[in-house]
Structure 1
Amino acid sequence: MQVIMFDRQSIFIHGMKISLQENIPEVDIYAVSQADELWRRLLEYPEALLILDGDMDKSFCSWLLQEKAQQFPLSHTVIVASDCQQAWLKESLAWNVQAIVPRDESVETFVQAINGAVCGLMCLPGGWTFNYESEKRGLEQLSHRQREILELLANGESNKEISRTLNISAGTVKAHLESLYRRLDVKNRTQAAMLFSAHELPSQVCSE
């Protein structure tokens, strides 16, 4: 198992290396501190798990995660953060993030999150579990047509492109979108697309 740690705290990296190697004997851990180093490692190990410092600038983290999701779609991420309730962290679930773990959690929790992420399971902060399951139920309650439209929307298609793809009028597309926005409790197409992308991940969730 290849793990890449992108963290600004060298002491944390050192401690995690020792702890993880004691608990996951087959793990190989590489530490990076720059995006260029991360891309080089991922070129070597495109399925490596990234453990990312979520306390860095949120704009940088969001850019990094989006770029990684596009360039290395087989690589999942575990985010480590001091404050796991930051709004941008929830948005990050759309970018191959499988787990969000408080920085002060136990080694056992980190091991659980890493092993789960490798298996495709999600591990979210305790307060998120209900919201995640509620959103998932909202998606499951969409009609077949609404789900088709939402999937095309998440793929970046405009209303006009969706109407051509599904051979329905642009007005019908707009009506379906307004209906599914209400059902999913989102305000716009960006939020709807992010929610859809997040829940296309495997649905098993572990609560910290």
Structure 2
Amino acid sequence: MNVLMIDSPPLFVAGVADVLWKRDSSWQVWSAQHPEDIYRIRTDLPAGTVGAVTIEWDERAAQVGWPKVLQDALGTVPWLFVVRTVCRQAIADALLTGAAGIVDRHASADEFADALARVASGAIYVPPSYAIGAQSGPAHGPVGDERAFERLTPRQREVLRLLAEGKSNKQICRVLNVAEGTIKNHLYALFRQIGVSNRTEAALWLSRQMGAEATRTPVVPLCTAVHH
């Protein structure tokens, strides 16, 4: 699998590449600094072999418009935002922008490798300390949303929380000891119940339920406090 890292320092790219190669020698890391690099790399690689992308996300990256560039060049390939400070507002903003997850730029190469493996498998990734599913119930979201959460069955709530933790369908199956078809049925039902159409929207919906800050910056994630 190929991984594309945008605007990351060369030494860090080399560290991530080394960790990924030790896990699976079929993984290869490519570095890009400008939109034209993306199209050149896409031409050099067989179609469908880019599994995940990371973007050093800040005001400069927002001005470049990387999400649109990636969508145009690579279609549905998932990407991770790499940010200076992770908080619940930043997580919500990243998901709303279309990212499959968010990771701290000070994270270790091993953490990056875990995050990349998660999103490449179709899951959503947030740092473990921000696992949304660890909380016990809905917080202070909009009244309509609270009622929607209450209408979910206990099993649907479990599936939603595990999804928001970044687990894939197969991982949820193992946790709940049920067939994958059953999980797909639960996802279809809860998506209809809360009014979303995909996993990313579901995770964003739950992050708001769990107390994401009411005011948010729509393009560049900003955090007013660091949570531990």
User: Secondary structure of the equivalent of 2:100?
Assistant: strand
Query: Taking CA–CA contacts closer than 8 Å with sequence separation of 6 or more, which of the two structures ends up with the larger relative contact order?
Result: 2
Moved more, 126-135 or 1-10: 126-135
Q: Which amino acid aligns with 1:141?
A: A
Deviation at 1:87, TM superposition (A): 4.8
**Equivalent residue number for residue 138 of structure 1:** 145
Partner residue in 2 for 1:148? none
Which segments of 5 or more consecutive residues in structure 1 lack a partner in the other structure?
144-183, 185-191
CA distance in 2 between partners of 1:7 and 1:71 (Å): 17
Query: Which residue, out of 126, 130, 148, partners 1:127?
Result: 130
Give the gaps of 5 or more residues in structure 2.
Answer: 152-193, 208-227
1:65 & 1:81 partners in 2: Cα distance? Answer: 15
> RMSD over aligned Cα, in angstroms?
4.2
Match for 2:24: what amino acid?
A: I
Query: Aligned partners of 1:46 and 1:202: how far apart in 2?
Result: 27
Matching residue's letter, 1:57: R
Which structure carries more helix by proportion? 1
Which residue of 41, 44, 54 maps to 1:51? 54
In terms of Rg, which structure is larger? Answer: 1
| Alignment match, 1:110 | 112
| 1:73–1:96 Cα contact (<8 Å) kept | no
Match of 2:161 in 1: none
CA distance in 2, matches of 1:24, 1:139: 43
Structure 1 distance, partners of 2:29, 2:16, is 9
The percentage of counterpart residues that share the same residue type is 12
Q: How far apart are residue 128 of structure 1 and its match?
A: 6.3
**Structure 1 residues 28, 201: CA separation in 2 closer, same or farther (over 3 Å shift)?**
farther
* Count of residue correspondences: 156
Letter matched to residue 19 of structure 2: S
Does structure 2 conserve the Cα–Cα contact (< 8 Å) formed by 1:80 and 1:101?
A: yes
* d(CA) in 1 for partners of 2:28, 2:147: 39
> Cα offset for 1:5?
1.0
